[in-house]
Amino acid sequence: MTFKTFTRRALVCAVLATTSVWAQAQSIVMSSTTSTEQSGLFAHLLPAFKKASGLDVKVVALGTGQALDMARRGDADVVFVHDQAAEEKFVADGFGLKRLPVMYNDFVLIGPKADPAATKGKDIVAALAKLSLGNAAFISRGDKSGTHAAELRFWKMANLADKKGSGYKECGCGMGPALNIAASSGGYVLADRATWLNFKNRADLAILVEGDNRLFNQYGVMVVNPAKHAHVKQADAQKFVDWITSAAGQGVIADYKIGGEQLFFPNAVK
């Protein structure tokens, strides 16, 4: 091998290595919820962000509790979840730089159209009391997600935290699988409206309880604190936070609809 050939090959290898490092630097990891993923929001949202920033976002969709744990371990650059109390604790414990509201929708109680437990109405607490009294089949996500946390709050409001009835079952699964179990078993389940609207395997299920102010479902976003994990891509993660809370990002969220129905309502406060 001539010196000229060796030099050329070395230069090519150096360029390839630099390109690989550059490509790796052009993405961030986001830990988020199954509801944002399974609702189809990210398929709509992230291409617009990439067009605006040049950054790819690698989403790991988990329950909110697991998403926050992932970020605590330093395995994510940004967190986008929906359990405000847990999010505020995440920031207070030093794992997140700042929590910002992004958007909201609501939870709904799903169940068989015939509604054997007679839950239909606007009062989620009264509905859960009827499910407990009738030992109706209820599928809980049981996964420390934002939806699971909300469900447990509602049981507590009904003074039924330890009396959910013999039909209560935890699946330890995401929103889509929980809906599938409810559809196949004729059970009840608490769901976020966005995932429900994007859910295809509805069988005999329908929305039975909606409109209760307590069913409000807020989403927040946080950059993971690089003081805890030096490898966090703070600058790129901040670009995502700045964009999704900007007029442009908020507009993309508002534009996401299924069958003409808006799934999420932007409410970022700068």
- Per-residue pLDDT of 225-259, as tens digits, reads 999 999 999 999 999 999 999 999 999 999 999 99
Domain with CATH 3.40.190.10 in the chain: 3-104+217-266, 105-215
Say what percent of the chain tops pLDDT 90: 89
- What number does CATH give the domain 3-104+217-266? 3.40.190.10
Supply the pLDDT for residue 2.
Answer: 54
- CB-side neighbour CA atoms (13 Å) of 61: 15
Domain 105-215 falls under CATH 3.40.225.10: no
Supply the pLDDT for residue 247.
Answer: 97
Alpha-carbon gap, residue 18 to 75, rounded angstroms: 23
Alpha-carbon gap, residue 3 to 25, rounded angstroms: 33
Supply the pLDDT for residue 10.
Answer: 46
> Distance between alpha carbon 162 and the CA centroid of its chain, in Å?
27
Supply the pLDDT for residue 269.
Answer: 79
Given a cut of 70, the residues of the chain with pLDDT beneath it are 1-25, 270
Amino acid at the residue 176: G
- CB-side neighbour CA atoms (13 Å) of 46: 17
Alpha-carbon gap, residue 73 to 30, rounded angstroms: 13
Confirm if 166 and 138 have CB atoms less than 8 A apart: no
